[in-house]
Structure 1
Amino acid sequence: MTTFADLGLSDKLLKALANTKLSTPTPIQEQAIPHIMRGADLMGLAQTGTGKTAAFGLPLLHRLLELHHPAGPRNVRALILAPTRELVSQISDNLTVFTKGTPTKVTTIVGGASINRQAERLARGTDVLVATPGRLIDLLERGDVRLDQCGYLVLDEADHMLDMGFIHSLRKIAKFIPLKRQTMLFSATMPKDIEELASTYLRNPVKVQVSPPGKPADKVTQAVHFTPQGDKAKVLEGYLKEHPGERSIVFGRTKHGSEKLMKLLVTWGFKAGSIHGNKSQNQRERTLQEFRDGTVEVLVATDVAARGIDIPGVKHVYNYDMPNVPENYVHRIGRTARAGTEGRAIAFCAPAEMGEFRDVEKLLKKAIPVIGGAPWAADAVAAAPKPGQNRGGRPQGKPRSAAGGKPSAAGKPAGKPRAARPQGKPGGSAAPRRSAR
C-alpha cells in the first residue's frame, strides 16, 4: 500500500499529516503528487470529495518549502483560484492544516469581505494566495498585490468557473503571471471549453483521471419524486418530518427562491438556514458553522454550495429544483455520503423540468428510481411553462392539484386556479444569476 512517505513528501508535511485523519493517499493524490513534485503541468479530472486539494496542495507546499526566504511585500509565490467563497475557504482550511509547523503562509481573498483588510494582509506578501477571480482582479487593479514572482498557478473546479462566466477574468489574471510557471488544472468534467482552457494555460500537461465524470458517490441512494411545482414545499416538509434531527441540504434554483423557502421552513418549525449569492461572506460562514454544529439542521442553498460544502454527517440532499446543468446534480448529491458514509438524494421533478431530469439520467447512464408520482406525460410537459417563464412555484403550503383535477401530492383536492406568481419564488424557473465574485 502506498503511503505519503513513499511519494517523497518532506518530513515537515508528513508530520502535519500525522495529526490528520489522512493515512494513505487517495487515487487522485497517488497519481498527481509525483508529477507535480517533478514540476510537470497537470490536468486532473476528479469529482469533489476525492481529495483534490491535497493532490495539488501537498506537492505545491513541498516545493515551496524548498525556498528558504520569505515572499517580498505584496508578492505571491503560488496562486490558487476557485469559483466560490466556500471553495476558497475549504481549500485554505486544508492548506493551513498541512502547513502547521512550517513557515509557509497561506492567505485567503474573497468577495464580500473588507478589501482594505485584505490589502493589509497582502502588504507583507504571502507564499500561497487562495482567491476568487473577481476580488483578485480588484486587488490587482489597485496595486495591492503582484503576481510577477508567482511560479505556480492552480485552477480548481475549472468547469464550474467557466459555468459561472469567469473565463474573461482568468484571461485578465493570466496576463499578470509569468509564462514560466507550473500550472495545474482540476475539473470534475471535461467539456470542450475545458480542453481549450487547458491548451491555453498548460504546457504538455500530464493527464490523470479518477471517478469518471458523471459518476455519483457510490453510497448515495438516489430517487425522484414527480410532483407539481406548487406542491414541492409540502412534499419536502413530509420528507423532512420523516427524519427529524438529521442534517439535510436542499438545493434551489434561484437566490430569492431559496431564501423564501428557507423562511417558510422556519415558520413550519424547522431549524433552517440559507446560503446563496445575496449573502455576505460573514453571513455564509456563520450559517455554515451553525450547520456544522447542529444549530441549523436544514440548509437551503443554490449551486454556489454544490461544490463548496464538505461537512460530515449530511444524511439527505433534496433537489428542490432540478439543476440547469446536469453535472451539477452529481456535485449536489456528492454533499452526502462523504468519507465512506451512506446518504440519500431525492429529486423533485415538475412537468417543466422533465428535460433537465432526462439530461441527468443521460449523464448517469441509468434510470433514477421513482419514489413518488409518475413521469409526466408529454401533454403535461407541453402545457408547462417553458424555461424563462414562471413555473408557478408557490411555497405557501397550499398545494395545487395536478392536471385533470386529481389530488395533489399532499392529498389535497384541487382548488381554484391561482394566478401565476412572479419569478424568483421557490421553484421558479428564472435562470440563475451569476455572481461576479
Structure 2
Amino acid sequence: MGLNPALLQALASENYTTPTPIQAQSIPDVMTGRDLLGIAQTGTGKTAAFALPILHRLAANRVAPLPRTTRCLVLSPTRELASQIAESFKTYGKHLGFRVAVIFGGVKYGGQERALSQGLDILVAAPGRLLDHIQQKNLDLSATEIFVLDEADQMLDLGFIKPIRQIVSRIPAKRQNLFFSATMPSEIGKLAAELLKDPKRVQVTPQATTVQRIKQSVVWIEQGRKRALLTEMFSDPGYTRCLVFTKTKHGADKVAAYLEAGGVEAGAIHGNKSQPQRERTLEAFKKGKLRVLVATDIAARGIDVDGVSHVVNFELPYVPEAYVHRIGRTARAGADGTAISFVAGDEMKLLKDIEKVTRQKIPAIDRRNDKALGALDAAISAAGVAKKPTLPEREGRPARDGEGEGRRNRGGPRGNSRRSGGPKGEGQRAPRPERSSYNPMATEQGGAGSPPPVAKLKRRRRPGRKPVTAAN
C-alpha cells in the first residue's frame, strides 16, 4: 500500500503480514489526506487502519512540534482504550522517533503537563481531562493537522458530544478528520455530517449484525439466582477466560465478590476504580490469574484481550447495539466463541429488541425454579459474600477519583481498608459444586433442552417485587 519502510519494518517485527478488510479499504485514502467515516465493530483492526496512515503522513512531512501543541489529536471515550491506542502508535512508529502521549482522568496532572509542554506529534486523550488541560492553557490545538474521533457511539452514551464540539471548535478548519463508530444512530450520523467533508465511507460489517463464529444462547432465570448460575457455570474448567457484563458499577462489584466466595477467581473493572486498580485487574485477567472479568459496558470498551472464550450477559443492555459490541469480545481473529445471556422476566422486551435488531432468533432454555441453583445460592451467601474483597481491593487502595475518566473530583469519603471483625469461618469460599462439563442449554435433569419459543414464555412477577432499575 506504499507505507513508509520504517512502518513496514515495525509491522514485520509484530508478524503482521495481511491487512484486515477495514485496513485495506481505509489506509490508501487516509494516506492521501481524505476524511474517513469508518463503521466497524471491535476486533476488526480499526486502530491500525488510522494509526498507520497517520504515521506515514507525519513522517512524509516531518515538522518539530511547538511546545504545548500536537500535530495529531485522537479522542477516545475510556482510559483503557486511550492507553491501547497510544501503545499502538508507539509500536507501529517505533522506528520513526515521534513523541506520543496519552491523557485521561484518574491520575495526577503533573506528568501530563510535562509531556504537553514539550510538544507532541500524537496525543491520545479522553475528552474530560483534555478540556481541563485546554482551559489551564497547557495545550493549544491551533497547530493540529489531523483529528480522530474513535468509538463515537460510546462518546454519545457517555454524554461527551458537547465537550467534543468544544474541542473541535479549537482545531483549525483545515484539517483531516477520521471518524469511527461501531454503530450509527441518528445523533452520531448528525455529528459525522458536521465534522466530515466528502469522506470515504468504509463499513466492513453490516450494522448491528453479530459475528458468525459466536454461538449464542439465552437462559431464562430469576434475577436473584443469576449469580448462582454463574458460579455453577464456572465450575467447569472449560470456561478459561470469561467476560461478564453488568449494567451497573455496584452490580459488577457484587457479582465479582460473589464469584470469589464461590471459589471462582474473579475481578471487576468500572469507572469507580482507580486507574492502578483497573490496570492490575486487567493485567491479572490477561495473565490468567483471573478466569473471570466482570465489567460495565463503558469500562469494557477499552478491553483488548485475545482468547476470550465466553461472554456472559449477566444483565441485558438497554441498547440492542450494545449487545453486538459485548459479544464481539469473543471469537476474534477467526477463533470460535460463546455468548450466553441470562434473561429475567422483566428483560423480555430487551431480548426481543436485540433479536429484532440482529435479525435472528437466539435459542433459549428455561432454568427458572431450579432447586439446585437455590441451594447453591444459599450455600455461597452463608459463606459471607460481603466479607470477600475482590482483587483490586486486596492489592491496592480504594478508588478516590470519582466516576469515569472525567475531571477532578475532590469530594467523597475515603475507602476503609481495615478488616472487620467476625467469627471464624466468615469470608471463606464455599466448596465448588461438583458438576462435569457444564452445558447452559441442558435442563435441570441434564438432558438436552427443547426450549419453548420466547414468544410463548410469559413474564413472571413475584408479588410485591419492584422492577430492577439501573444505578448508573
Shared fold (TM-score greater than 0.5)?
yes
Quick one: distance in 2 between partners of 1:245 and 1:162? 33
Deviation of 1:420 after TM superposition, in Å, equals 5.8
* Contact 1:123-1:144 at 8 Å conserved across structures: yes
Deviation of 1:106 after TM superposition, in Å, equals 1.3
The residue correspondences of 1:341-380 to structure 2 (distance < 5 A) are: 341-373=335-367
Q: Indicate whether 1:262 and 2:256 are aligned.
A: yes
Per the alignment, residue 181 of structure 2 pairs with 187
Deviation of 1:67 after TM superposition, in Å, equals 2.7
SS in structure 2 of the partner of residue 242 of structure 1 = coil
> Alignment partner for residue 211 of structure 2, among 205, 217, 241?
217
Q: Indicate whether 1:429 and 2:423 are aligned.
A: no
* Contact 1:272-1:297 at 8 Å conserved across structures: yes
Deviation of 1:410 after TM superposition, in Å, equals 7.9
* Contact 1:37-1:63 at 8 Å conserved across structures: yes
Quick one: distance in 2 between partners of 1:39 and 1:101? 22
SS in structure 2 of the partner of residue 123 of structure 1 = helix
**TM superposition score normalised by structure 1:** 0.85
**TM superposition score normalised by structure 2:** 0.79
Q: Indicate whether 1:108 and 2:148 are aligned.
A: no
Per the alignment, residue 28 of structure 2 pairs with 34
Quick one: distance in 2 between partners of 1:323 and 1:354? 12
User: What CA deviation, in whole Å up to 9, does each residue of 1:369-423 have, x standing for no partner?
Assistant: 114448xxxxxxxxxxxxxxxxxxx999579xxxxxxxxx989xxxxx89869x9
Quick one: distance in 1 between partners of 2:123 and 2:366? 47
User: What CA deviation, in whole Å up to 9, does each residue of 1:104-123 have, x standing for no partner?
Assistant: 12111111111222111111
* Contact 2:242-2:309 at 8 Å conserved across structures: yes
> Alignment partner for residue 96 of structure 1, among 69, 79, 90?
90
Quick one: distance in 1 between partners of 2:111 and 2:464? 49
Q: Indicate whether 1:137 and 2:131 are aligned.
A: yes
Quick one: distance in 1 between partners of 2:330 and 2:28? 30
Q: Which amino acid aligns with 2:233?
A: Y
| Structure 2, unaligned runs of 5 or more | 369-376, 383-442, 446-461
SS in structure 2 of the partner of residue 300 of structure 1 = strand
Quick one: distance in 2 between partners of 1:245 and 1:340? 19
* Contact 1:232-1:395 at 8 Å conserved across structures: no
* Contact 1:29-1:51 at 8 Å conserved across structures: yes
* Contact 1:254-1:302 at 8 Å conserved across structures: yes
Quick one: distance in 2 between partners of 1:224 and 1:248? 16
Q: Indicate whether 1:205 and 2:199 are aligned.
A: yes
| Structure 1, unaligned runs of 5 or more | 1-6, 375-393, 400-408, 412-416, 433-437
* Contact 1:264-1:396 at 8 Å conserved across structures: no
Q: Indicate whether 1:75 and 2:78 are aligned.
A: no
SS in structure 1 of the partner of residue 207 of structure 2 = coil
Quick one: distance in 2 between partners of 1:237 and 1:296? 14
Quick one: distance in 2 between partners of 1:88 and 1:127? 16
Per the alignment, residue 414 of structure 1 pairs with none
Q: Which amino acid aligns with 1:206?
A: K
* Contact 2:35-2:177 at 8 Å conserved across structures: yes
Identity of aligned residues (%): 47
Q: Which amino acid aligns with 1:69?
A: V
Per the alignment, residue 329 of structure 1 pairs with 323
Deviation of 1:37 after TM superposition, in Å, equals 0.8
Deviation of 1:243 after TM superposition, in Å, equals 3.1
Quick one: distance in 2 between partners of 1:419 and 1:295? 42
> Alignment partner for residue 299 of structure 2, among 279, 299, 305?
305
User: What CA deviation, in whole Å up to 9, does each residue of 1:323-375 have, x standing for no partner?
Assistant: 1111111111111111111111100000111111111111110001114448x
User: What CA deviation, in whole Å up to 9, does each residue of 1:236-280 have, x standing for no partner?
Assistant: 111111235611111011001110111111111111111001011
Per the alignment, residue 13 of structure 1 pairs with 7
Please list every run of at least 4 consecutive aligned residues from structure 1 whose deviation after the TM superposition is greater than 3 angstroms.
371-374, 394-399, 417-421
Cα root mean square deviation, aligned: 2.1
